[in-house]
Amino acid sequence: MRRPAASVIAFAPLALALLAGVARAGDIAPGDRRSGRDFMAPETQAMQADDTSNPGMLWVLRGAGLWEQEAGASGQSCTSCHGAAEASMRGVAARYPALDTATGAPIDLTGRISQCRAERQRAPALARESDDLVALATFVAHQSRGLPIAPPQDPRLDPYRTAGRQLFTARMGQLDLSCANCHDDNWNGRLAGSAVTQAHPTGYPLYRLEWQGIGSLQRRMRNCMVGVRAEPFAAGSEEFLALELYLMQRAAGMAMETPGIRP
């Protein structure tokens, strides 16, 4: 199985060397951009729109409880520092991934929550995709529902965004396909009976009927990599963070929907 180079920053200068494996995709025109919700059946759209029917709201409620729960040696909760999430977290998820000034590298919302828990609360780390961490991320992201995605315009993130675009267009796996082959070139088609969307991360963390649970954008990208028979990147890796940065830039201005629902 074939995958792009391990280091994202090292990967960027190698773009010309990878031309043979890069899909020549056309970017989606701004006027043609559509949320994944728009490709769903009316019944699924209605389920997402109704908080009493949206199963993702169970994770929002769980996250709300964890927000108030004291943890770690500090004996503090998220509320102790941030207060009511409805005010302090409004718009936060729409601006992630962002630059972590301590490391000089990008960090996503899940990573920031984990970092805050370890450094501020002095509590044991929560595993990525664990129910508690996903619930906290869903709760925080839910506070930005309806707001436009607003990626940080920090030039220090530009190399990562560039690397993310290169990863998005690089062919990989035994099927020799790139993300762009489906989500740019054939977004108005179907694959195995399912709609091919435009890969705009407006609803994450989101509930997938296939999972019977909620999951992160990175979980969805791992699914896609397995689908093309490529070795998935490690959870929280630079590659996934670069892809998240690029995808959020593609979706700039589109409304946050968390928790979204997809098949």
- Cis check: omega of the bond before 42, within 30 degrees of 0: no
| 64 CB neighbour count, 10 Å cutoff | 17
Is residue 52 classed as helix, strand or coil in its secondary structure? coil
Q: What distances in angstroms separate CA 49 from CA 145, 257, 259, one per listed residue?
A: 11, 9, 10
Of the residues 81, 179, 182, 224, only one is catalytic, namely 224
Written as one letter, the residue type at 207 is Y
Residue with tokens 């043609």, as numbered in its chain: 32
Those residues whose C-beta lies under 8 Å from the C-beta of residue 153, and which sit 6 or more positions away, are none
Give the residue from 155, 159, 109, 158 showing the smallest Cα distance to 134.
Answer: 109
Q: Is 224 among the residues known to form the active site?
A: yes
Alpha-carbon gap, residue 153 to 151, rounded angstroms? 6
Which residues 6+ apart lie within 8 Å of 87 measured at CB? none
C-alpha distances in angstroms, 161 versus 9, 43, 174, 242? 10, 35, 26, 6
- DSSP designation for 208: E
CB-based contact 191:135 (threshold 8 Å):
no
Q: Provide the pairing of β-strand 105-107 with 213-215.
A: unpaired
User: Which active-site residues does the annotation give?
Assistant: 224
